[in-house]
Structure 1
Amino acid sequence: MFSLIILAMALSLDSFGVGLTYGMRKIKIPWLSLAFIGLCSGLSILIAMSVGATIAQVISVSVAETIGALILIIIGAWALIETYRPRKEPVQRLQKQDIDFTIKMFGYVIHILRDPAKADMDSSGTVTGREALLLGLALSLDAFGAGIAAALMGFSPIGLALMVAFLSALFVSLGMVGGYRLAHVKWVKRLSFLPGLLLILIGLLKL
């Protein structure tokens, strides 16, 4: 149970970082949008763990757990690399009218993964409707691989999905509050390494 809670927190900490970003930039996310973001995150974990459970049926339990742990370590290491890698602005920024919810929508989701503030497409200062969908998809894609790994390690799909759904919405909300109050505190921005570090630690403990 303790490992389940820690894993759910690790998968949801990115949401806290998103909330901090919005809080610092005074962007608001209504409660309905928060619930939608949590739902997207929970469903993504459930789907990912279903894929992982299917894979686990064709390999032994010990091998599945080892593979799952290694995947978590790799994802955590990649997250740490992304945290400290210099980011380049795209040459041409996507505009709201360019998005047609097919290939361009996926491209915009990837942009949001790099810069969460881009979810506020109309620069209204509030993330609602389609913008909440894009943000939810971005956060969901970010944790999909870890969901497969969690299933291989034998975690409960329903339990983890519910916990991630709740914590994702909660952490975005707490992050926004923290962002409003700590916008000028430089060390807060340096905590973005925590999700990757936690995933690595969980993977090492499961080896």
Structure 2
Amino acid sequence: MQEIMTLIILAFAVSLDSFTVGFTYGMRKMGLPFKAILIIACISATTFFISMMIGKAISWFISPHITEILGGVILISIGAWVIYQFFKSDNHGPTEPKDPYILKLEIQSLGIVIQILRKPMTADIDKSGTINGIEALLLGLALSLDAFGAGVGAAMFGFEPLLTAGVIAFMSSSFLWIGLKSGFLLSCWGWLHRLSFLPGVLLILIGVMKMT
């Protein structure tokens, strides 16, 4: 029962970014068709599965005890980074990137991921007001890469890769859809963006829980 709850909390933490992006699109009255959500779900599942397989491969070469500690350290580090980024942007305010285009693909510290999540509108390359085709592909890649490290850490705790990837796909697509609809209905509730530090807190809690 505890493992199931931990899995749900992990999926919740990883999927909150999807809710934030969906909420932003909803507030700006942008369209996100079911096909686009399906593409994003598939990419999220595939990327998380790959990251977990990498974590499994690493765990073959080190003892189970060290594996659990390493997995906890990874999740705590990611959580701390998320919180740091939240307070950093809160203190200094948003900064406009020199190059606003999503296709810049700056892999240095996953710059593309940060750019898309901070400025979700940049995923709408053709400015049509609807996310389709390659735009959904790029958005899905951005959201899933953001959770890549969490997948490596989760695998070291012994989570089943296929099941976990499936739960992540379901949760991220659901959160994206819920965020979109919530944005349409609650466009005046801009304070909800202030909760974007929660994934960091949850990842730290999971890491600490698994290490104790």
Contact kept? 2:79, 2:201, Cα under 8 Å: yes
Matched, 1:119 2:123: yes
1:200 maps to which residue? Answer: 204
Mapped to 2, the partners of 1:184 and 1:191 lie a distance apart of: 15
Shift of 1:40: 0.6
Equivalent-residue separation in structure 1 for 2:99 and 2:81 (angstroms):
26
Give the whole-Å Cα distance in 1 for the aligned partners of 2:50 and 2:208. 24
Q: 2:13 aligns with which of 6, 10, 13?
A: 10
The CA deviation string for residues 132-187 of structure 1, in whole angstroms up to 9 with x for no partner, is 01100100110000000000111111111000011111100000111111111133
Gaps of 5+ in 2: none
2:148 aligned with 1:141: no
- Provide the TM-score with structure 2 as the length reference: 0.89
Which one of 179, 186, 189 corresponds to residue 190 of structure 2? Answer: 186
Quote the Cα distance in structure 2 between the aligned partners of 1:162 and 1:142. 17
Residue matched to 1:92: 99
Name the TM-score, length of structure 1 as normaliser: 0.91
> How much identity, in percent, do the aligned residues show?
49
Q: Secondary structure at the match of 1:85?
A: helix
Measured in 1, the distance between the counterparts of 2:160 and 2:189 equals 38
1:73-126, Cα deviation, whole Å (9 max, x unpaired): 11011011112223311123228xxx49898xx865552133222111111110
Conserved 8 A contact 2:105-2:112: no
Amino acid at match of 2:97: P
- Paired residues, what number? 202
- Structure 1 CA distance, aligned partners of 2:31 and 2:161? 31
Q: Flag structure 1 segments of 5+ consecutive residues without an equivalent.
A: none
* Root mean square deviation, CA, Å: 1.9
Alignment of structure 1 residues 53-92 onto 2, 5 Å: 53-86=56-89, 87-92=94-99
1:97-108 equivalence runs, <5 A: 99=103, 108=112
Runs of 4 or more, structure 1, over 4 Å off, are: 99-103, 106-110
